[in-house]
A and B are shown apart, each in its own frame.
Chain A
Amino acid sequence: MTDNTAQGFTVPIGPQHPALKEPGHFQFTVDGEIVTRAYVRLGYAHRGIEKAAEARSWTQNLYLLERVCGICSHIHALAYSLAVEQLAGVEAPPRAQAIRVLVAELERIHSHFLWMGVSAHEAGFDTLFMYSWRDRETVMDLLEGLTGNRVNYSANLLGGVKFDLQAAQADSIRRGLDFLEQRTRHYLDVVSNDAMFLQRTRGIGVMTRAQAEVMGAVGPTARASNVGRDLRVEAPYAAYRDFPVRMALDERGDLEARFEVRIRELFESFRLIRQILDDLPPGELGVRLPRRIPAGEAVVRLEAPRGEVYYFVKSNGGDRPERLKVRTPTICNLTSVVRLAVGHQLADVPMILAGIDPCFSCNDRLVQLYQEETGEGRSMSWKDLRQYGIDFYARRQA
């Protein structure tokens, strides 16, 4: 904790704090209840993935990068696959691309339901939290039925996808979507009409269009401020060329708009998934890729649930990448949120933070736990670890 008198009254939030489900550190200097200064420190979930990727083969990296984020795992694997395919000069067959988009949209539904629950919880509205998480189970079951996993679906291969879509699976997805669509309609009603909830969202954390552009906001956060940034529309990738989507925009730029934009996106996802199920192109599920990828650079940008994911992959013609850079949407939106918090009530800060759907483990990728990933780290038995803990504190006491 820092000195109280020098900088006013500073409230630390994180790295361990009930408002944050993941580690990040924020310091808010408050005057009474009003925030006057905000500061951010990241890196608590740093795993060194960018460096680790340089030590792994092209195929191994697919599994590593799927684990950048626990919620939008598919989109990371997809971005990496597309980048490698671009370097190798091949394109996955249409059926594979459609299945990739199908999983991506199911993941978006999953992520938005999760987000809705978390931010309702930040507002102290636990009923919405519990219900949206119950409904999220439906889409997780669908994903499990399709891919075998509730998270980290592992649907992608370099050059295609791992599995085909059966008729029975398509039917269960349709049934699940019918239920979710009916629930989503109800939630849209709640977030746009519940007077008590609107007190916590309407006019809070307003980001104007100009601010959103200057601060480089992406995804639903930008679209709620009327910045038309949606890569599925601007630069369609995979099967979005054949299955176009409409962008959900809002001009209010406050928390209410961020709720509404995400919920309206859900309807678009439902429509898109149904359309893909109806018109799934026939054909192969994948193409073969060479073990060595030709030298070159590839940039791939995809629309993750939280906004734009950016991958830069450089190959030197070897069997592993020369350099891999991941930029997740949260890092773009975090700068904006830290600025937005100033001038607001402390009570609104968790809501504003949650409003961008932050994902810290996406953000923090580099170095700290590198030794474990390369297997060079020490392994300790439970007994050793316990003794180590006792010694550590004994040393500190002395």
Chain B
Amino acid sequence: MNPLAALFALLIFPGGLSLLAAGLVYEWVDRKLLAGLHNRVGPRWFQPLADALKLLVKEEVVPEGVNQALFIGLPLVALAGALSAAVYVPLAGLAPVHSFPGDLIVVLYLLSLLTLGMGLAGTNTLDRFSLIGATRTLTQVFSYEAPFLMALLGAAVVAGSLSVSEICAYAGEHWLILTQPLGFVVALIGLMGKLEMPPFDAPEAHTEIVAGALTEYSGRGLAFFHLGRSVELVVGLTLVAAVYLGGLSSPVWFAVKTLALLLVMVGLQALLARLRIDQTVGLWWRYGALLVLVQWLVLILIQRS
């Protein structure tokens, strides 16, 4: 790959700007559909962009008693993590920009950077809402991360590779949602947990702890965290759609499949009440992990025979 093409791929398409734009569009779809189910009007199409721009031009207030470098650096790390994860997934139905054996694991860790960044940002401040939010964020990471990872590894096992592009190629011929339905459910709900969508929004439950870990953030830092979340929404949807919904071969299929997944997620958000943090952990370890283990057992039995 020549340097110019790599730069283009990183900054303009499919990464960088177009990924940010896609993030905002998906965020709008999420909010608009949820509003529809709530019987509300919902935001206009440019609202997420307007929100992001407004936050970006606002003064950033750095509270007393924080480590300045961390306070400013963490949002950047979080956004960068989400953006770099995009390099390894088949965005817009195109082949991943970069690929090497084992990049599935890298993607999953890059996607976790956002949550980790939020947790650290919360513990960095002295505010008690932030501290409780951060505790909840990090507690939640430990509950959904393992089942989510194991679900995706189930796909890697049948594809015989830990590379996202090879798994996608394999998934293009086999619809894994049919052969591994349990893994799919856990991966999709795990994605909701990663994105802290209802019912997994205890870390930012505003009726209890205002804005959770991000309570002290304003202006640029908050904008970066929000953008990172939007980007992660797109990347996560792409990953789950590529692995379980028969690969992503063209931009049209990409849009159809990811939006279908988003629709399911919106429906779940509207249907379910928020779980308490202890209930979230209980749900993941009692049911999530168990479902994945059952999936693994079936896989092993089939592979043996």
Contacts and interface: CB of A to CB of B under 8 A. Distances in A.
Interface residues of B, number: 28
Contacts, number: 79
B278 interface: yes
A199 B275 contact: yes
Contacts of A85: none
B35 to A, nearest CB: 9
B38 A200 contact: no
A4 B275 CA distance: 28
A381 interface: no
A11 B37 CA distance: 34
B216 to A, nearest CB: 13
Interface in A293-307: none
Given A17-B210, A124-B201, A134 B39 contact: yes
B274 A125 contact: yes
Contacts of A18: 206-207, 210
Interface centre among B38, B209, B274 (most CB of A within 10 A): B274
Interface string A320-347: 0000000000000000000000000111
Interface residues of A, number: 33
Interface in A190-205: 194, 196-197, 199-200
A276 B290 CA distance: 58
Nearest to A19: B207
B21 interface: no
A199 B128 contact: no
Contacts of A348: 276
Contacts of A19: 206-208
B208 A347 contact: yes
Given A1-B128, A130-B39, A130-B40, A122 B272 contact: no
Nearest to A17: B210
A187 interface: no
A350 B275 contact: no
Interface centre among B205, B275, B276, B279 (most CB of A within 10 A): B276
B271 interface: yes
B211 to A, nearest CB: 9
Interface centre among A125, A127, A348 (most CB of B within 10 A): A127
A231 to B, nearest CB: 32
B130 to A, nearest CB: 11
Contacts of B39: 130-131, 134
Nearest to A135: B39
Given A11-B128, A126-B38, A196 B206 contact: no
Interface in B30-46: 37-40
B38 A124 contact: no
A347 B277 contact: yes
Contacts of A131: 38-39
Contact of A122 (B129, B202, B207): B207
Contact of A11 (B129, B205, B272, B275): B129
A358 to B, nearest CB: 14
Given A196-B273, A196-B275, A127 B210 contact: no
A197 B128 contact: no
A33 B277 contact: yes
B199 interface: yes
A252 interface: no
Contacts of B276: 199-200, 345, 347-348
A124 B207 contact: yes
B270 interface: yes
Given A33-B277, A122-B207, 7 more contacts: A4-B128, A9-B128, A11-B209, A12-B128, A19-B206, A130-B40, A347-B277
27 contacts: A1-B128, A9-B128, A11-B209, A12-B128, A17-B210, A18-B207, A33-B277, A123-B273, A124-B202, A124-B274, A125-B272, A126-B270, A127-B270, A127-B271, A130-B39, A130-B40, A131-B38, A131-B39, A196-B271, A196-B273, A199-B276, A200-B273, A200-B276, A346-B209, A347-B205, A349-B208, A350-B207
